[in-house]
């Protein structure tokens, strides 16, 4: 049972606070700069050139957000495919973070494209280019974003079932809409496992393909980062940052909403991180020696120092923090460790896509324009505002008294550990009792039984 399982429902705070107004101002400035770019073009709003056709909108807004949104599929895999019911409390917030993150990945890519109005061409089979890495990334991101929205639908249904009250002449639609919502909720409960599996598959595909994208850069990428193992390292780093991102956003969100973080659940999540980080570090070190460039780490150049900082602060330090029980079982330790992993992955993506990249044109250089920085900051602020609005109006975070939230006793009962752990779970994708599934074995039943033991 979670730390706050015995808490009463807490009334949500008001949406606007002094801090939220500051975030709103940043979002407004970023939105204005984004509109300026969309109207007047890349040349007027950026410092991008033919030598540097990609800037921080790809290195940060796209590559970073794809990695940091990995908490959605990693937590879904753990809670629903392996049937670890104790992690249900963090799945909904992680799912929301992933959905918002991937939405702004699409926004970032569209902003970076010169002819963004032709973006829909990728959906036409006669215009597909299966030999293109970018094509695979685009298709997988589009499909996974659709899957994320489908996975979020049960939360929308729970929010509005029995609460559809349209005014005036539209009131006659209340009952039909409620019937559709109930049918949709029941249907999704039966097939959601399929979408979870599909989401994990699609995530693994495009996470690794982002690394493949820079493999073809060849000698333009510094030897410390250029590697045929980039797809594997991008995938492993996405796995590694998934749970720390869940920990990070959970602590921030609970503190902002006046709730106590689920320390017990977060501590259990943190136990997986040193193993994944250790595997990632082993692959990275092996690759350096395999390619004969390990000595470059100690050259004392800007690139070598950057590499040391990335690995030390983003991999080794959080490995140690999450390996020490006293730190792993404290909120400050969890927050610091998770923050270091996130910064390490963000730094890695910036290094690979921008800093370690040197075009063939002599003397070419790139520094982002203030409008590029404003758009990036604005996107981050918009994500925060959307996240806050959703959690204050939809049953995403437990123990927050919002419309659609189950009664406290029902919710506590639904998350209690099973008396017989070898029996299959009868909970639906989002922790509510499933319809017509009590006698059915869970997906990956053998794996689930092994984990429960």
Q: Which of 329, 230, 335, 315 is nearest to 273 (CA)?
A: 315
> What pLDDT, on a 0 to 100 scale, did the predictor assign at position 419?
42
> What pLDDT, on a 0 to 100 scale, did the predictor assign at position 309?
95
- Confidence check: pLDDT of 370 > 70: yes
Contact 141, 102 (CB under 8 A): yes
For range 47-72, the mean pLDDT? 82
Higher pLDDT, 444 or 346: 346
Residue 449 to residue 453: CA distance in whole angstroms: 6
SS3 221: strand
Contact 148, 75 (CB under 8 A): no
For range 295-308, the mean pLDDT? 92
In a domain, 327, yes or no: yes
Residues 6+ apart with CB under 8 A from 286: none
> What pLDDT, on a 0 to 100 scale, did the predictor assign at position 252?
92
Could you tell me which residues are beta bridge partners of residue 159? none
Residue 249, burial from CB neighbour count under 10 angstroms (0-12, 13-18, 19+): buried
Helix axes 263-270, 331-350, angle to 10 degrees: 50
How many structural domains compose the chain? 1
- Confidence check: pLDDT of 74 > 50: yes
In a domain, 437, yes or no: no
In a domain, 426, yes or no: no
> What pLDDT, on a 0 to 100 scale, did the predictor assign at position 427?
41
> What pLDDT, on a 0 to 100 scale, did the predictor assign at position 443?
42
In a domain, 415, yes or no: no
Q: Give the residue numbers spanning the domain of 358.
A: 19-407
Number of residues assigned to the chain: 453
Per-chain mean pLDDT for the chain? 83
Q: Count of CB atoms within 10 A of residue 252's CB?
A: 15
* The residue to which tokens 């998770």 are assigned: 338
In a domain, 417, yes or no: no
CATH number at residue 44: 1.20.1630.10
**pLDDT tier, 372 (very low <50, low <70, confident <90, very high otherwise):** very high
* The residue to which tokens 């056709």 are assigned: 53
> What pLDDT, on a 0 to 100 scale, did the predictor assign at position 440?
40
Higher pLDDT, 86 or 19: 19
> What pLDDT, on a 0 to 100 scale, did the predictor assign at position 404?
64
- Confidence check: pLDDT of 5 > 90: no
- Confidence check: pLDDT of 408 > 90: no
In a domain, 254, yes or no: yes
Backbone angles phi, psi at 225, to 5 degrees: -115, -25
Higher pLDDT, 403 or 90: 90
Q: Count of CB atoms within 10 A of residue 364's CB?
A: 12
Round to the nearest angstrom and report the end-to-end CA distance of the chain: 18
In a domain, 9, yes or no: no
Q: Which of 132, 138, 137, 106 is nearest to 205 (CA)?
A: 137
In a domain, 452, yes or no: no
> What pLDDT, on a 0 to 100 scale, did the predictor assign at position 99?
92
pLDDT digits (tens, 9 = 90+) for 174-216: 899 989 999 999 999 888 889 988 888 888 888 888 888 888 8
Q: Which of 231-245, 264-278, 304-318, 423-437 has the weakest average pLDDT?
A: 423-437
- Confidence check: pLDDT of 445 > 70: no
Q: Which of 214, 199, 237, 259 is nearest to 352 (CA)?
A: 214
For range 374-403, the mean pLDDT? 89
Dig out the tokens for 5 from the structure: 């399982």
Dihedral angle computed from the Cα positions of residues 400, 101, 307 and 219, in that order, rounded to the nearest 10 degrees: 170
**pLDDT tier, 358 (very low <50, low <70, confident <90, very high otherwise):** confident
> What pLDDT, on a 0 to 100 scale, did the predictor assign at position 117?
86
Residue 283 to residue 275: CA distance in whole angstroms: 12
pTM above threshold 0.85:
no
- Confidence check: pLDDT of 35 > 60: yes
């Amino acid at each position: 049972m979670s730390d706050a399982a015995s808490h009463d429902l807490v009334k949500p705070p008001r949406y606007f606070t002094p801090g939220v107004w500051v975030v709103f101002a940043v979002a407004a400035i970023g939105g204005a700069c984004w509109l300026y770019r969309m109207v007047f073009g890349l040349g007027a709003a950026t410092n991008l050139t033919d030598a540097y056709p990609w800037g921080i909108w790809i290195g940060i807004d796209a590559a970073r957000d794809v990695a940091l949104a990995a908490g959605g599929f990693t937590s879904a895999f753990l809670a629903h495919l392996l049937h670890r019911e104790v992690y249900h409390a963090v799945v909904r917030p992680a799912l929301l973070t992933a959905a918002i993150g991937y939405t702004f990945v699409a926004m970032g890519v569209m902003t970076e494209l010169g002819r963004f109005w032709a973006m829909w061409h990728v959906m036409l089979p006669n215009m597909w280019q299966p030999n293109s890495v970018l094509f695979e990334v685009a298709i997988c991101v589009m499909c996974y974003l659709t899957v994320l929205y489908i996975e979020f639908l049960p939360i929308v249904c729970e929010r509005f079932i029995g609460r559809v009250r349209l005014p005036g002449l539209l009131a006659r639609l209340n009952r039909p809409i409620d019937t559709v919502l109930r049918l949709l909720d029941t249907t999704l409960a039966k097939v959601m496992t399929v979408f979870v599996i599909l989401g994990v598959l699609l995530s693994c595909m495009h996470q690794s393909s982002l690394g493949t994208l820079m493999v073809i850069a060849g000698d333009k990428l510094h030897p410390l980062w250029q590697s045929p193992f980039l797809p594997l390292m991008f995938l492993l780093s996405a796995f590694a940052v998934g749970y720390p991102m869940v920990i990070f956003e959970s602590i921030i969100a609970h503190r902002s909403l006046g709730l106590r973080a689920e320390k017990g659940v977060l501590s259990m999540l943190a136990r997986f991180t040193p193993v994944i980080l250790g595997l990632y570090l082993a692959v990275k070190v092996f690759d350096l020696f395999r390619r004969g460039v390990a000595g470059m780490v100690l050259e004392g150049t800007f690139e070598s120092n950057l590499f040391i900082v990335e690995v030390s602060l983003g991999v080794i330090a959080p490995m140690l923090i999450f390996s020490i029980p006293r730190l792993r079982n404290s909120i400050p330790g969890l927050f610091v460790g998770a923050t270091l992993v996130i910064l390490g992955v963000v730094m890695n993506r910036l290094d690979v896509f921008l800093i370690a990249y040197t075009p063939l044109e002599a003397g070419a250089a790139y520094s982002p324009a203030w409008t590029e920085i404003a758009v990036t900051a604005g996107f981050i602020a918009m994500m925060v505002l959307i996240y806050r609005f959703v959690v204050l109006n939809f049953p995403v975070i437990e123990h927050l008294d919002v419309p659609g939230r189950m009664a406290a006793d029902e919710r506590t009962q639904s998350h209690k550990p099973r008396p017989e752990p070898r029996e299959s779970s009868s909970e639906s994708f989002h922790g509510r009792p499933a319809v017509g599934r009590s006698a059915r074995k869970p997906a990956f039943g053998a794996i689930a039984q092994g984990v429960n033991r």
